[in-house]
Amino acid sequence: MLAQPPKLPSAARTAAYFGLFVLGAVVAGAGGLVQSGWFPGGLILALAGAAGLFLGGARAMGSRAGAVAPAGGWVIAVILLTASRPEGDFLFGVGAGSYLFLLGGMAVAVMCATLGAGRQPGGPAARLGK
């Protein structure tokens, strides 16, 4: 089963991945506002929300791509929110909390994508030949 070439996902699965991507961007925006509002607790809350989304996406979709899709939306949204505008406005201020949110969120995304279930062959859970 693992030697077979991968197939394209169905339309419903593709829509679910797109929904997770958009939800990752929303969580990034909300986390950016919360982490600076209540510094120590808000940062923990923002990272816990991102971790819950990434790991929940992996478990719901049954694959690592379920964690990668919201992580991609999260990273793109955070990068866009860190760029300053011509007016001088930006969402993230200079400080330890912002950098911890950026780097911590990326680390959480990698951890959750690693913990997500990969493609496994079907069959009994017992060892072969026993």
Q: H-type helices in 62-122, by residue range?
A: 65-82, 96-115
What integer pLDDT is reported at residue 83 of this predicted model? Answer: 75
What integer pLDDT is reported at residue 89 of this predicted model? Answer: 62
Pairwise CA distance, residues 11 & 17, whole Å: 10
The CA-to-CA distance between both ends of the chain, in Å, stands at 21
Residues 6+ apart with CB under 8 A from 10: none
pTM: 0.78
Pairwise CA distance, residues 41 & 45, whole Å: 6
Tens digit of pLDDT at every position of the chain (130 positions) = 556 777 787 888 889 999 999 999 999 988 888 887 777 888 899 889 999 999 988 888 888 888 899 999 999 998 888 877 677 666 776 677 788 888 888 898 888 888 766 555 566 666 655 5
